[in-house]
Amino acid sequence: TSCIVLLRPSSYKSTMIQMIGRGLRTVDPAEYPDIIKKDCIVLDFGTASLIHGSLEQSVDLDD
């Protein structure tokens, strides 16, 4: 399980999505054969999800 901890607010929703996306990156099985990523826990202490909404909501990066 991966974990992303957001400790600061983000001004843009695209920045928040990019930070969370780092936890969702795939792992090269040739380099790390014993690691299988299935999920990612996101802990938001920086209020980004309060400002921009949760990721379960539809994403419009033009906002």
pLDDT digit string (tens) for the chain, length 63 residues: 789 999 988 888 888 889 888 888 888 889 989 888 888 899 999 888 888 887 776 666 665
Residue in the block written with tokens 């920086």: 46
Burial class (CB in 10 A: 0-12, 13-18, 19+), 20: middle
- Domain ranges within the chain, ordered by starting residue: 2-52
pTM equals 0.70
